[in-house]
């Protein structure tokens, strides 16, 4: 167990608090004193290495290259000067001290310092220095910035500036920068999707959710119109009860999704609770459909009354989601780890992993329904469909099987991509596909849940 993690976390929280004071430049002053110290050293070669700091001083003629603890490669080409002294001071944890604000944005929420902070001093001048930084978080790929600490930014509070520095490459876990001056350098990288991509995702999401909501309303209207004709036996009745509740759950979840954006914390907590509950209800009613399919194809000689089916359906379809949603909010809300911070209202991942209270049940149901489909398919191929059932019930069984065969992989893919966005939050492709598929769930429920039944369209 790494016993240094907790102290480092507490130290970072302390510096975040200090840097929030707009009247003091505490972290900037600390770096300034370090630079003053390094500039006051005698001109002799030496190397001092500790766990957190590496201090090097070397003399060279014409050109210089060094790899500092395999974390940053510094190269200075021809200088046409001799007997130069270069001092480098590498800080492995100064990223926990300095804020990630840069010259274009005083907020540090969207950026992170993703490399060591290295100070480079030379008793001469150069207009060409190359620095190759190893990334701390190699999964971050968006918007790398080659920066130096500018003490005069933000009314002398200090901040990162890219003047005189250019990005040369961003590949294989390294970022290479070229700068025309020497000072304290590092790299900033975006911890979220850039605004232009986020705007495109918002358009995809809201257009898709609009289509989804319209499709669900049409689905419910069709179900109301054909209800009496399509629910003459228990199997058909429970199938259409499941479809209606799937549509209602998804429609209410989509409505909450549309109205919840950036609300105050109490309202956001309520919105997150209802979105969580109704998305879970969607999956548990999918499970009811799977269990109904299993019951009508495997337990063909068993006869369950309509009232018993309804009792089981509503207990599982809404009871289980309610328990999970209530336990989740009760366990995580008191510690402030229930909802995302400074984002759209949804379950927290970084602090408490509350999102697992949705992901685990949803993907578990997808797996169960997939196994049911395999068993039912085997049964259909071996013995036919519903040997002891009436033609109308056999039709209902086939429709349920078709519906689950399409919607189960679809929902599994959709929310599997959701897990992908958590694992790799800066992957543009995963975000685009997830936004597209997730926002169109209602359309697929209409097509494959209702219109797929040929008798509905007669």
User: What is the three-state SS of the chain?
Assistant: CCCCHHHHHHHHHHHHHHHCCCCCCHHHHHHHHHHHHHHCCCCCCEEEECCCEEEEEEEECCCEEEEECCCEEEEECCCCCCCEEEEEEEECCHHHCCCCCECCECCCCCEEECCCEEEEEECCCCCCEEEEEECCCCCCCCCCEEEEEECCHHHHCCEEECCCEEEEEEECCEEEEEECCCCEEEEEEECCCCHHHHHHHHHHHHHHHHHHHHHHHHHHHHHHHHHHHHCCCHHHHHHHHHHHHHHHHHHHHHHHHHHCCCCCHHHHHHHHHHHHHHHHHHHHHHHHHHHHHHHHHHCCCCCCCHHHHHHHHHHHHHHHHHHHHHHHHHHHHHHCCCECCCCCCCECCCCCCCCHHHHHHHHHHHHHHHHHHHHHHHHHHHHCCCCCCCHHHHHHHHHHHHHHHHHHHHHHHHHHHHHHHHHCCCCHHHHHHHHHHHHCHHHHHHHHHHHCCCCCCC
**Paired tokens of 237:** 């009745």
- Of 137, 162, 136, nearest to 149 by C-alpha is 162
pLDDT of residue 2: 41
**Paired tokens of 310:** 């309804």
- Of 246, 254, 238, nearest to 220 by C-alpha is 246
Residues with Cβ < 8 Å from 435, sequence gap 6 or more? 201, 204, 205, 208
Decide if 149 contacts 184 (C-beta within 8 A). yes
pLDDT of residue 138: 77
User: What residue has token string 């997150």?
Assistant: 272
User: What is the Cα–Cα distance from 58 to 56, expressed in whole angstroms?
Assistant: 7
In this prediction, the residues of the chain whose per-residue pLDDT falls under 70 are 1-10, 70, 104-110, 139, 141, 191-196, 260-264, 300-302, 341-343, 383-393, 422-426, 454-458
pLDDT of residue 137: 81
Half-sphere exposure of 239 (CA within 13 A, CB side): 31
Residues with Cβ < 8 Å from 132, sequence gap 6 or more? 72, 73, 174, 175, 176, 177
pLDDT of residue 458: 45
- Of 324, 295, 282, 194, nearest to 235 by C-alpha is 295
Can you say how many angstroms the Cα of residue 47 is from the centroid of all Cα atoms in its chain? Answer: 42
User: What is the Cα–Cα distance from 353 to 339, expressed in whole angstroms?
Assistant: 10
**Paired tokens of 284:** 């548990």
Q: Checking DSSP bridges between strand 111-113 and strand 174-179, what pairing results, if any? A: unpaired
User: What residue has token string 């209270």?
Assistant: 357
Decide if 64 contacts 75 (C-beta within 8 A). yes
Q: What angle do CA 104, 110, 111 make, to 5 degrees?
A: 75
Burial of 84 (0-12, 13-18, 19+ CB in 10 A): buried
pTM over 0.85: no
Question: What is the C-alpha end-to-end distance of the chain, expressed in Å?
Answer: 66
- Of 324, 407, 326, 319, nearest to 360 by C-alpha is 324
């Amino acid at each position: 167990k790494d016993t240094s993690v907790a102290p480092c976390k507490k130290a970072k929280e302390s510096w975040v608090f200090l840097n929030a004071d707009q009247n003091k430049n505490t972290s900037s002053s600390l770096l300034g004193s370090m630079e003053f110290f390094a500039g006051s050293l005698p001109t002799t070669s030496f190397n001092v290495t500790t766990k957190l700091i590496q201090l090097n001083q070397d003399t060279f003629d014409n050109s210089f290259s060094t790899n500092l603890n395999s974390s940053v490669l510094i190269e200075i080409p021809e200088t046409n000067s001799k007997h130069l002294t270069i001092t480098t001071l590498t800080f492995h944890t100064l990223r926990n001290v300095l804020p990630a604000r840069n010259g274009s944005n005083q907020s540090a929420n969207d950026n992170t310092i993703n490399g060591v902070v290295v100070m480079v001093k030379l008793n001469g001048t150069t207009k060409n220095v190359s620095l190759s930084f190893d990334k701390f978080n190699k999964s971050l790929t968006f918007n790398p910035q080659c920066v130096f600490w500018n003490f005069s930014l933000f009314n002398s509070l200090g901040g990162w500036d890219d003047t005189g520095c250019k990005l040369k490459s961003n590949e294989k876990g390294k970022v290479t920068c070229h700068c025309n001056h020497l000072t304290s350098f590092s790299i900033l990288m975006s911890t979220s999707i850039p605004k232009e991509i986020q705007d495109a995702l918002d358009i995809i999401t809201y257009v898709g959710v609009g289509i989804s909501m319209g499709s669900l309303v049409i689905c419910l209207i069709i179900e109301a119109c054909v209800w009496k004709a399509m629910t003459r036996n228990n199997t058909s009745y429970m199938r259409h009860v499941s479809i209606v509740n799937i549509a209602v759950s998804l429609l209410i979840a989509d409505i909450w999704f549309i109205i919840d954006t950036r609300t105050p914390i109490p309202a956001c907590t309520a919105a997150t609770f209802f979105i969580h509950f109704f998305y879970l209800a969607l999956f548990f009613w999918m499970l009811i459909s799977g269990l109904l399919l299993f019951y009508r194809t495997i337990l063909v000689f068993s006869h369950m009354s309509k009232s018993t089916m309804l009792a089981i359906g509503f207990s599982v379809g809404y009871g289980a989601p309610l328990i999970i949603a209530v336990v989740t909010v009760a366990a995580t809300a008191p510690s402030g780890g229930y909802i995302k911070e400074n984002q759209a209202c949804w379950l927290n991942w970084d602090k408490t992993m509350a999102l697992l209270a949705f992901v685990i049940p949803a993907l578990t149901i997808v797996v169960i329904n997939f196994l049911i489909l395999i068993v039912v398919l085997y049964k259909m191929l071996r013995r036919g469909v519903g040997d002891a059932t009436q033609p109308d019930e056999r039709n209902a069984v086939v429709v349920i099987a078709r519906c689950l065969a399409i919607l189960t992989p679809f929902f599994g893919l959709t929310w599997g991509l959701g897990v992908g966005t958590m694992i790799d939050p800066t992957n543009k492709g995963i975000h685009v596909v997830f936004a597209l598929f997730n926002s169109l769930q209602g359309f697929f429920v209409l097509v494959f849940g209702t219109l797929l039944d040929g008798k509905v369209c007669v």
